[in-house]
Amino acid sequence: MTTSHYIAGRWVEGQGSDCISVNDPALGQPFAEFMAASVDQVDQAVAAARSALPAWKTTSASERAAYLRGFAEQLGQRREALITLQMRNNGKPRHEAEIDLDDAIATFTYYAELAEQLPSKNRDVPLAVPGFSARTRLEPVGVVGLIVPWNFPLVTSAWKLAPALAAGCTVVLKPSEVTPLIEQAYGQIADALRLPAGVLNIVNGKAETGAALSSHNGLDKLSFTGSNSVGSQVMRSASAQCRPVTLELGGKSAIVVFDDCDVDQAVEWIVAGITWNAGQMCSATSRLLVQDGIADALLPRLQAALNNLRVGNPLTEEIDMGPLTSQAQWLKVASYFATAREEGLQCLVGGKALDRDGWFVSPTLYADVPKGSRLWTEEIFGPVLCARRFASEEQAIAEANDSRFGLVATVCSADLERAERVADALEVGHVWINSVQAVFVETSWGGTKGSGIGRELGPRGLSAYQSVKHVTRCLG
Ligand code: NAD
């Protein structure tokens, strides 16, 4: 792997100073390395996107839709390679890697359909005042910088790339340095489809490369997914240039279980919400609020279910949960185990790293966690669940909403009227009722409060890459 950056339709070697090591987290060992892009190369990528913009934004919507369908088809052709790479580099169990690939394919297909509908959205606007006509034009925002994290590399990039290209934007994508090989597929697909040079550029690198992109004055918009600390730096760069920004940030989401639930079903939802992708989900439901009447029956079964999960190497073992994706993440989760010990939290299961090679931790459950605990309030980004009991619906809503984040929540109840009422009262961007982590491309994704600005997916995901122009004419 030397030519790892895709700029102006060509694969080039990195000229930056950072060496990027690509690791297998189940072994804790690197399997590839290459040099990051330099600041100059970020410049070149933005310049390539700028020079490709005039032609790309005037292609017909159906032409762009054909490219997007091509992306969907080509992802399908690379199915086995991309699934294996996600298992190897992310540590994802096979069925999770498959779902990610299918999600990316569905995203390109969906935005191809929306692109085909674009011409009918450019409409005449009826006016109350006679003597004038007015029409709306939806135009691409322009050159967009896309910065993404490592936890769902194929998916997070697809959620940005597909609507941006559908809208007629040109892009510079910066994948995470932790999983930089997976998104190379998008460059290879651009090559295979003969996407015009410069429409899609990919620069790999660490913080320096990300900062060079987010502070670049040649961008018209930034769309960032990642941590709150980096998100606020990206927002600062955007604000310095009064540039629009979409931010998809962290979460500390609640799962609220009422006492009319089937215990086994509730346990299944709770486990999935905290152990899928080894808990490395912005949308992990890591705060369990369980009603008094069911808590004593539920907690022991939850403890047993977490204890019984098969944790291991997705490439060599039958597993339910893989390792954490990076050593940095493993150290971070371990530091929360230490904090839990210092705080004297009641650990019902796990609370430790596994004694084997690789970056493994046990699925973990702490019970009766005080509201002031760092484990209750901070995003851990691992399979670490904290539980508290509640008495009333009002208390559950108040405790769920008592967070600086507002990404998602899950409500489990046999009383659907109550579940809908609670869903409406929760201060988050997405609520699941009696289901877990199901994200459909037609809906929307994004958070309230500290979880971000803007929405991805659905029609709003496309609007994020469009600007609105009205043309008003005096009929004389
Ligand atoms: P991160 O913020 O460390 O990195 C995200 C991206 O930003 C990476 O590509 C990184 O190289 C780049 N970056 C780092 N420093 C930068 C800088 N100074 N300027 C510009 N770019 C920079 O996040 P991560 O550890 O990769 O991902 C985990 C975080 O992402 C979690 O907080 C998680 O909740 C969040 N996340 C949110 C969503 C969502 O949809 N809301 C989805 C996935 C992940």
Mean pLDDT across 283-287: 98
| Angle, vertex CA 321, rays to CA 320 and CA 325, nearest 5 | 155
- CA 207 / ligand 1 centre spacing (Å): 10
Half-sphere exposure of 310 (CA within 13 A, CB side): 9
**Counting every residue, how long is the chain?**
476
User: What are residue 368's DSSP bridge partners?
Assistant: none
Q: What is the pLDDT of residues 219-247, one digit of tens each?
A: 999 999 999 999 999 999 999 999 999 99
pLDDT of amino acid 11: 97
Which residue, chain included where needed, has tokens 């629009």?
Answer: 244
- CA 379 / ligand 1 centre spacing (Å): 13
> Which residue minimizes the CA distance to atom 15 of ligand 1?
207
Following CA atoms 336, 284, 327, 224 in sequence, which dihedral angle do they give, to the nearest 10 degrees? -120
Q: Are strands 170-174 and 200-202 parallel, antiparallel or unpaired?
A: parallel
pLDDT of amino acid 438: 94
Position 350 pLDDT exceeds 80: yes
Q: What is the CA radius of gyration of the chain?
A: 23
Mean pLDDT across 319-337: 98
Q: What is the pLDDT of residues 378-420, one digit of tens each?
A: 999 999 999 999 999 999 999 999 999 999 999 999 999 999 9
Q: Taking a C-beta distance cutoff of 8 angstroms, is the pair 88, 99 a contact? A: no
Answer yes or no: is the C-beta of 151 below 6 A from any ligand 1 atom.
yes
- CA 224 / ligand 1 centre spacing (Å): 7
Answer yes or no: is the C-beta of 233 below 6 A from any ligand 1 atom.
yes
Residue 183 pLDDT grade (very low, low, confident, very high; cuts 50, 70, 90): very high
pLDDT of amino acid 216: 97
Instruction: Give the nearest ligand 1 atom to 231 CA.
Output: 2
Q: What is the pLDDT of residues 13-72, one digit of tens each?
A: 999 999 999 999 999 999 999 999 999 999 999 999 999 999 999 999 999 999 999 999
Tokens of 334: 């371990």
Task: Please count the other Cβ atoms lying within 10 Å of the Cβ belonging to residue 304.
Answer: 12
pLDDT of amino acid 2: 57
pLDDT of amino acid 168: 98
Q: Taking a C-beta distance cutoff of 8 angstroms, is the pair 405, 390 a contact? A: no
User: Which residue numbers are catalytic?
Assistant: 248
- Please state, in angstroms and rounded to a whole number, the distance separating the CA atoms of residues 345 and 343: 6
- CA 22 / ligand 1 centre spacing (Å): 17
What whole-number percentage of the chain has pLDDT above 90? 97
- Please state, in angstroms and rounded to a whole number, the distance separating the CA atoms of residues 271 and 191: 41
> Which residue minimizes the CA distance to atom 30 of ligand 1?
226
Tokens of 143: 């050159």
Query: Which residues, 6 or more positions from 443, have their beta carbon under 8 angstroms from its beta carbon?
Result: 430, 457, 458
Position 1 pLDDT exceeds 60: no
- CA 132 / ligand 1 centre spacing (Å): 48
Answer yes or no: is the C-beta of 248 below 6 A from any ligand 1 atom.
yes
Answer yes or no: is the C-beta of 214 below 6 A from any ligand 1 atom.
yes
Window from 129-138, 167-176, 210-219 with minimum mean pLDDT: 129-138
Answer yes or no: is the C-beta of 226 below 6 A from any ligand 1 atom.
yes
Following CA atoms 224, 225, 228, 232 in sequence, which dihedral angle do they give, to the nearest 10 degrees? 0
Q: Taking a C-beta distance cutoff of 8 angstroms, is the pair 454, 464 a contact? A: yes
Phi, psi of 173 (to 5 degrees): -100, 130
